[in-house]
Structure 1
Amino acid sequence: MIFFSLNHSADLGRAVAHAGGFPLALHEEREFSGGEHKARPLLSVRGKDVYVLHSLYGEPGMSANDKLCRLLMFLATCRENGAARVTAIVPYLAYSRKDRQTKPRDPVTTRYVAALFEAMGTDCVVTLDVHNHAAFQNAFRCQTVHLDTRRLFTAQILARADEAPIAIVSPDGGGIKRAQLLREALTETSERSFDFGFMEKRRSEGVVSGSLFAGDVMGRSVWIVDDMIVGGGTMLRAARACREHGASQVHLIATHAMLTPEGIDTLDDPAIDTVTLTDAAAGLGPARAVLGDQLVGVSVAQEIAQTILRLSLGQSISPVLDPTGNTR
């Protein structure tokens, strides 16, 4: 097994290699005038089981398109140079939010991205907390593995909970299933009971509306869960609604931290007690500089490393997928 991590995911790549106890293979990335580039492995991949990690979030100086192109070309290079199997480890999968037509002549970019991976000869795509699990599964024809953070978030909530009753809240209607699954994982793991709620949200041409709040959060420690935070407005709306309905504490928890500078400032609000984010997408340094101890970082490196090891050995990945940690 050979594990690569492209340069803009180097920190997470090193953490995954350390967690899995396997080396991070050397590769080269070169930039050319005119904006072109190349990447190649610096050791033979012929006949090898190759894993390539790259998280496809946009950041200053490197768009999601740039990262996607680099990853696809590197996967194709490994395949062309004789790799027996090529697996893409994509903690954040770009364009997964556009998974259906909501207006006439809309693109369905989730399906287009899947076709690109398949065209490069990718055998398997592994991702984490994709925006729409069903759309992800339906878009790909190659093998896919969908990991989630329920086990990590369950451990965080239970370790930090006090005696106050707990409520799990979705910040919008689209995330209800995600919040319900986290609540179920908590119920299976703990003898405590957990309440549930959600906030109405409608978005049209960038304008967010909707004020309906469902659920009893009075006197409760509320955990608002989502797959990603970018501008922070959706989470802040939900946090303020929970406070207005009597929540004693409000904690935000999300997998993909793709915060803009304005988004970080948005979360620095008295309605929010803590913000828990993983390292699956961007680094947490800029957010920590503003939020300080209010920010709690959680690493997904162990989960990804165990997935790679089990795939490379042909073992079941059920122990990684089970949010309670049980082996099935």
Structure 2
Amino acid sequence: MPAMTEPKLISGNANKPLASSIARRMSMHRGMNVSLVDARVERFNDQEIFVEVFENVRGEDMYIIQPTSNPANDNLMELLIMTDALKRSSAARITAVIPYFGYARQDRRAKARTPITAKLVANMLTEAGVDRVLTLDLHAAQIQGFFDIPVDNLYAAPVFALDIQHHFKGKMDNLMVVSPDVGGVARARELAQRIGAPLSIVDKRREKAGEVAEMTVIGDVKGKACIIVDDICDTAGTLVKAAQVLTDNGATEVHAYITHGVLSGPAVERIGNSVMKSLVVTDSIQASDEVKAARNIRIVPTAPMFAQAILNIWNGTSVSSLFETDTLGPIYEGLYTAGGA
């Protein structure tokens, strides 16, 4: 049943540019002004978070836009406290729009006496009063099952496919999609199928966390333009080494498409000094000035997709329709047409 009220957006401090972009896109779709709800999300001197909403939200369909990226704990607490503020203000429904879901890498007990923090975060969000979650490229799909509320997990692959078809026009037959590890094969295979390219794998073996001891290429990449696909790039050590290994095995050029550009520590410097011709990330995490200035890092927008997803949720229509490149094509019209980005 279609909602009677307009969707209302509110943003924390984690990625305000993305929230503003989503509001602008929704304004274009709705033919009327959609703006962010006026609120303040501040810190006391002891760093306690305080939230005050300046508009009436009673009976409203609310969407909190807040990735839980670095600093993950602060941004997560902002999200929880904003949810509590809206719940106590009688909002009818609260959807947490989490473009980057922090703690997603802690999705199982890999060793004895370790936590499953992704499940803990799911419990906290639900207890705070979140009624629905909208996110992008969860590190592990089973995290959806950690929630007892609906979770819509969007995919960056259709957007990446549009970008690749635009930037590699005339060279599509020479592309090879590469998974940087065995665990990411399903993600890489999906993109390979979308663009009609073969698939290769870089098998890596770690001696300890954060360090890659050995890499082997499975598949013939000689003479190919390789595209590495993954969901998260943190310190970029694995990515840069994989690019070098592919080049050593005869790849003519190496590009990477990563959904979430965490890019912490020496990541940007490593990427700048690597053999990679380009790294493409989404704006799920607000880019630092260093990332924006990097010569071989490019950012693709997710606002058109999130705006349409929010409207579909509000209208009670399908969100899974956004999993297809054909559906996203018109939404991204102008960005990947002649003269587009």
Secondary structure in 2 matching 1:213: strand
Secondary structure in 2 matching 1:79: helix
Distance in 2, matches of 1:174 and 1:183, equals 16
Secondary structure in 2 matching 1:87: strand
Per-residue deviation, 1:322: 2.2
- Structure 1 residues 297 and 326, CA, compared in 2 at 3 Å: closer, same or farther? closer
* Number of residue equivalences: 314
- Structure 1 residues 218 and 284, CA, compared in 2 at 3 Å: closer, same or farther? farther
1:129-168 alignment runs, 5 A limit: 129-133=137-141, 135-161=142-168, 162-163=170-171, 165-168=174-177
TM-score (norm 2): 0.88
Distance in 2, matches of 1:195 and 1:7, equals 41
Distance in 1, matches of 2:304 and 2:72, equals 25
257, 278, 282: which is aligned to 2:261?
257
1:47 aligns with 2:66: no
1:110 aligns with 2:122: no
1:73 aligns with 2:77: no
Distance in 2, matches of 1:79 and 1:316, equals 26
Structure 2, unmatched stretches of 5+, are 1-6, 28-33, 330-341
- Structure 1 residues 24 and 211, CA, compared in 2 at 3 Å: closer, same or farther? same
In structure 2, the partner of 1:218 is 222
Secondary structure in 1 matching 2:215: coil
Secondary structure in 1 matching 2:251: coil
36, 47, 50: which is aligned to 1:24?
36
Per-residue deviation, 1:205: 3.6
Residue 68 of structure 1 aligns to which amino acid in structure 2? L
Q: Is the 8 A contact 2:162 2:325 kept in 1?
A: no
Q: Is the 8 A contact 1:185 1:324 kept in 2?
A: no
In structure 2, the partner of 1:191 is none
TM-score (norm 1): 0.92
Deviation readout 1:112-131 (Å, 9 max, x if unpaired): 11000110111101110111
Q: Which moved more, 1:160-169 or 1:105-114?
A: 160-169
Distance in 1, matches of 2:110 and 2:276, equals 32
Distance in 1, matches of 2:209 and 2:299, equals 32
Distance in 1, matches of 2:239 and 2:328, equals 32
- Structure 1 residues 210 and 138, CA, compared in 2 at 3 Å: closer, same or farther? farther
Distance in 2, matches of 1:254 and 1:205, equals 20
Q: Which moved more, 1:230-239 or 1:253-262?
A: 253-262
Deviation readout 1:11-43 (Å, 9 max, x if unpaired): 111111111112111111232122212112211
1:171 aligns with 2:166: no
1:166-205 alignment runs, 5 A limit: 166-187=175-196, 194-203=197-206, 204-205=208-209
Root-mean-square deviation (Å)? 1.6
In structure 1, the partner of 2:127 is 119
Per-residue deviation, 1:5: 1.1
